Structure 1
Amino acid sequence: MPNANSAPDRFFRVACYFEAALTLLAMLLGWLLDVNPFADLDFNEQGLAIGMLLTLPLTLLFFALQQLPYAPLQNIKTLLMETLGARLHRRHWTDLLILAGIAGFSEEVLFRGMLQPWLENATGITAGLIISNILFALVHAVTPLYALLAMLMGLYLGLSLDYGGERNLLTPIVIHGFYDFIAFIVILRNYRHSL
């Protein structure tokens, strides 16, 4: 008889592997398109501090949207509870931090480290920012509203890349990772309260 915990454990592992594979995809695409996805990654205190600071507006918006009685937002909340909440609710907070960190790093290396610079060189800065985040929205299109919110978040992350005067991929990585971690905690808390 299969272990009852094996499905959630498998989901967590697959989610981590999938997100980590996005870094490999970024490296492969970067090699094919002659773009170094890590060229603008500088591990420094300024990038870390700016990233943590710029996580705050997204977090406040996330909490505000959780409270709105707008049906499509409530549908997203329910969908996230049923998918992520149901599969991750037995995980320790450190597991959620690991998954959020992998997702933040890998997705940002792919979208802001590889695609955005390549598209900026090919189409111009504004078009590169917009097109890369249309693609970001499409891969997050679980509902039309979720895709729109993902695009707006992607634009925010894309703009944060140059915040502070110097391009640093660390800033959107930190924002994305911390935001995902907070969202995971809230989704799991909501799921546990619904049980």
Structure 2
Amino acid sequence: MENHPAATDAFFKIACYFEGSLALLALALGWLADLDPFASLIFSETAFGIGILATLPLVVLFFAMQQLDYPPLKKIRDLLLETLGARLAYRHWTDLLILAFIAGFAEEALFRGFLQPWLENGWGADVGLFGSNLLFALVHAVTPLYAVLAMLMGLYMGSMLDYGGERNLLVPMVIHTVYDFVAFVVILRDYRNRSH
């Protein structure tokens, strides 16, 4: 893909539409299964704060993995630079925040808002947590290690859905959004540094 403003603009729009369509998919599946994927989405300052704080360990791990010279991690970094870095090269940080928000909102609506509770209703909490995150890992399987990391991150976000004993979809949505935003900023920074 060519790295010029028109190409990055097209990618940005497609990425936003694709990610946003996952929320529509969650609503459609929820309608079919008679399950509201947003039933546990409660806006509160406490849940927002918990989401921000719960992102910190993931961000620390992300930066630690950036420093490791482990070949499978290097492969992931290179892949992200070549794909996302090139395609987001001309985007402003606010665009990265918008994309991270849409991804965090829509993916969590599908995987933690619909799929996890749907599986829980039929097979129990453990199957709900592990089953939804197995699918989460599979759709993020750009490399085997990336799939494993996505599975672990999904398990973490799925567990945080019930943090404090009260289910709130806002917590994993905030975690996902903040983590993706930090990752996008780092990928774009590294891509720009490598290109100059």
TM-score of the aligned structures, taking structure 2 as reference length? 0.97
Give aligned-pair identity as a percent: 68
Letter matched to residue 12 of structure 1: F
Q: Which structure 2 segments of 5+ residues have no match?
A: none
Counterpart in the other structure of 1:124: 124
Counterpart in the other structure of 1:77: 77
Paired with 1:30 and 1:65, the residues of 2 have a C-alpha distance of 36
Counterpart in the other structure of 1:90: 90
Q: Which structure 1 segments of 5+ residues have no match?
A: none
Letter matched to residue 136 of structure 1: F
Counterpart in the other structure of 1:19: 19
Counterpart in the other structure of 1:28: 28
Letter matched to residue 193 of structure 2: H
Counterpart in the other structure of 2:38: 38
Paired with 2:102 and 2:85, the residues of 1 have a C-alpha distance of 18
Paired with 1:87 and 1:133, the residues of 2 have a C-alpha distance of 27
Say if 2:115 is the partner of 1:115: yes
Shifted more, 3-12 versus 106-115: the winner is: 3-12
CA deviations on 1:41-81 (whole Å, 9 max, x unpaired) are 00011110000000000000000111111000000000000
SS of aligned partner of 1:105: helix
Between the two proteins, the alignment pairs up a number of residues equal to 194
Where does structure 1 differ by over 3 angstroms across 4 or more consecutive aligned residues?
A: none
Counterpart in the other structure of 1:99: 99
CA deviations on 1:123-177 (whole Å, 9 max, x unpaired) are 1101110000000000000001000000000000000000122100000000000
CA deviations on 1:63-115 (whole Å, 9 max, x unpaired) are 01111110000000000000000010210000000000000000000000000
Counterpart in the other structure of 1:191: 191
TM-score of the aligned structures, taking structure 1 as reference length? 0.98
